[in-house]
């Protein structure tokens, strides 16, 4: 017996019976019995029969939304959707049901009913039951009626966190600038899942949310600044130009946050601006710029090497730290500085290479062991020893400290200084 077997078989009639007899009491009674006690095929076909009869049979169809079998629940939802507005009050009551599959089909029926269900759903946003409010918001979020935008924004202040979360998520479909400020305010919410819902929607709203989020970076609330920062990271490249402009903000908290965000986004167009921030009077700002530049990796090495060579003292220190964090990829450009005319630059470059500890720096450093400047020679030797220690290479050849004769070595070693590796 197939699911689509004859309705007459379920209702007990003969194949020759006229469908005009369907409204008769016997056939209706049989259908209701089948809906309550029949197998899944009987229940499904009974729903089809009762659904055609319309409004008087709303309650049996609503009860069928709780059926254990999905095809019966789905059929009941379809039948209730065909009935339309008269079924809405009963469907709204079903939003209180705790079963997820029941709720899903109830919401589906309301969505299929469409515009006639909108006003009752809006009224349900002030229902005493938080679960009804939440599910009404969710259903309206799927339907996206224009008149629901303002009530949805108001729902961001609901006393129940699940309602606030659902309102934040549902507003993503509108992507309306009017919701940006209330969503940013929601970043202060005590519940993490509510805050994340606000972030998700702010990212979807995208460019309209950028300026208000940057403005929030200057607020006194540290947690709000952090959450606004994460939201801007999630917005990504569209926010880069405005973030770069905001690096000139007089508020150090804004500059620091912008530096952090730009580093996480990783757009290389921010590198010159981050380099410029390494001279900021606030230490925390300089440190954030340094960390972000280090995160840029290879692309930041050459500009950092130039700042390391030519910058003012605070800039040089930041550049040195960033190059150290980048590590191996920075060795080639830093090694080039070992040939700089300035002994101070050569000395600092040798010191940095020792701190990085890459084996590839040993050869260039060994050439400084004959440098005319004693301080440079000493730092070069110490850097080579640091590299040896960091690489734990006990087989590395001995290199005498500057000014000491290696009397125990052969003449060839005296004529040609070997690589420590």
Residue 81 located in a structural domain: yes
In a domain, 106, yes or no: yes
Task: Give pLDDT tens digits for 158-196.
Answer: 999 999 999 999 999 998 999 999 999 999 899 989 998
Confidence band for 284, pLDDT divided at 50, 70 and 90: very high
User: Residue 235 domain-assigned?
Assistant: no
Q: Is residue 364 part of a domain?
A: yes
Summarize the confidence of residues 252-277 as an average pLDDT: 96
- CATH code of residue 19: 1.25.10.10
Q: Which domain holds residue 106?
A: 1-113
Other CB atoms within 10 A of residue 135 CB:
27
Of 391, 304, 392, 390, give the one whose Cα is nearest residue 349: 304
pLDDT attached to residue 37: 52
- pLDDT attached to residue 57: 79
pLDDT at 252 over 60: yes
Q: What integer best gives the mean pLDDT of the chain? A: 84
pLDDT surpassing 50 at residue 292: yes
Distance CA 183, CA 412 (A): 75
Residue 83 domain flag = yes
Taking every pair of Cα atoms in the chain, the longest distance, rounded to a whole number of angstroms, is 120
Counting Cα atoms < 13 Å in the Cβ hemisphere of 247 gives: 26
Please tell me the predicted confidence (pLDDT) of residue 62. 87
For residue 19, the tally of other CB atoms under 10 A from its CB is 12
Structural domains of the chain, count: 2
Verdict on whether the full-model pTM lies above 0.85: no
Could you tell me if residue 275 is inside a domain? no
On whether residue 223 sits in a domain, the answer given is no
3-class DSSP state for residue 219?
Answer: coil
User: Does residue 138 form part of some domain?
Assistant: no
User: By the 8 A CB rule, do 295 and 266 touch?
Assistant: yes
| DSSP conformation class of 65 | T
């Amino acid at each position: 017996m197939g699911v689509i077997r004859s309705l007459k078989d379920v209702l007990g009639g003969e194949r020759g019976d006229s469908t005009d007899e369907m409204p008769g009491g016997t056939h209706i009674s049989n259908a209701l019995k089948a809906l309550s006690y029949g197998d899944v095929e009987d229940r499904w076909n009974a729903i089809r029969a009762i659904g055609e009869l319309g409004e008087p049979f709303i309650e049996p169809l609503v009860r069928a939304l709780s059926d254990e079998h999905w095809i019966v629940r789905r059929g009941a939802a379809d039948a209730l959707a065909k009935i339309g507005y008269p079924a809405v009050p009963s469907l709204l009551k079903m939003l209180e049901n705790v079963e997820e599959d029941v709720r899903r089909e109830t919401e589906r029926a309301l969505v299929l009913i469409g515009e006639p269900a909108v006003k009752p759903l809006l009224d349900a946003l002030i229902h005493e039951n938080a679960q009804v409010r939440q599910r009404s918001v969710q259903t309206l979020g799927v339907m996206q009626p224009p008149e629901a935008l303002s009530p949805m924004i108001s729902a961001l202040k609901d006393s129940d966190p699940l309602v606030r979360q659902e309102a934040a998520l549902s507003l993503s479909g509108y992507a309306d600038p009017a919701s940006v400020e209330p969503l940013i305010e929601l970043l202060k919410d005590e519940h993490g899942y509510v805050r994340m819902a606000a972030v998700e929607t702010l990212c979807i709203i995208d460019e309209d949310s950028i300026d208000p989020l940057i403005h929030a970076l200057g607020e006194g609330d540290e947690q709000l600044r952090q959450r606004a920062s994460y939201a801007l990271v999630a917005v990504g490249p569209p926010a880069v130009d405005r973030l770069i402009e905001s690096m000139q903000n007089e508020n150090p908290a804004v500059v620091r946050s912008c530096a952090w965000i730009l580093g996480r986004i990783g757009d290389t167009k921010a590198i010159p601006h981050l380099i410029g921030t390494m001279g900021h009077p606030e230490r925390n700002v300089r440190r954030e710029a340094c960390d972000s530049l280090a995160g840029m990796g290879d692309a930041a090495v050459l500009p950092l090497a130039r700042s390391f060579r030519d910058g003012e003292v605070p800039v040089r220190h930041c550049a040195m730290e960033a190059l150290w964090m980048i590590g191996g990829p920075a060795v080639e450009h830093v090694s080039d500085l070992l040939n700089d005319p300035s002994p101070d630059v050569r000395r600092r470059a040798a010191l940095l290479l020792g701190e990085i500890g890459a084996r590839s720096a040993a050869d260039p450093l060994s050439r400084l062991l004959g440098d005319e400047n004693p301080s440079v020679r000493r730092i070069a030797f110490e850097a080579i020893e640091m590299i040896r220690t960091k690489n734990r290479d006990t087989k590395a050849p001995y290199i005498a400290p500057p000014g000491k004769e290696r009397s125990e070595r052969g003449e060839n070693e005296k004529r040609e200084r070997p690589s420590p590796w």
